[in-house]
Amino acid sequence: MSQYFRIFNSSKLQFLEPSRFPCSGNFPSMLTGSKHLSAGLALLTIGSANSAWLAHKQLGHYSQQWLGCWSGDMVQLVGDYEQADVWDELNRNGQDISLQVLTMMCELSADLKDEILSIYADDLVSLGNLARLEHSQVLAFVQNKFGRNWLDKYHRKLAESYQ
117 pLDDT tier (thresholds 50, 70, 90): confident
Residue of higher predicted confidence among 86 and 121: 86
In tens, the pLDDT along 125-140 reads 777 777 766 666 677 7
Residue of higher predicted confidence among 47 and 80: 80
pLDDT for 14 beyond 90: yes
Q: Where are the domains of the chain?
A: 5-100
157 pLDDT tier (thresholds 50, 70, 90): confident
In tens, the pLDDT along 48-104 reads 666 666 666 666 677 778 888 898 899 988 888 888 888 788 888 999 998 888 888
Overall pTM surpassing 0.85 (yes/no): no
CA distance 74 to 105: 22
26 pLDDT tier (thresholds 50, 70, 90): low
12 pLDDT tier (thresholds 50, 70, 90): very high
What strand order describes the sheet that includes 14-16? 75-79, 5-9, 14-16, 95-96
Nearest of 69, 72, 67 to residue 55 by alpha carbon: 67
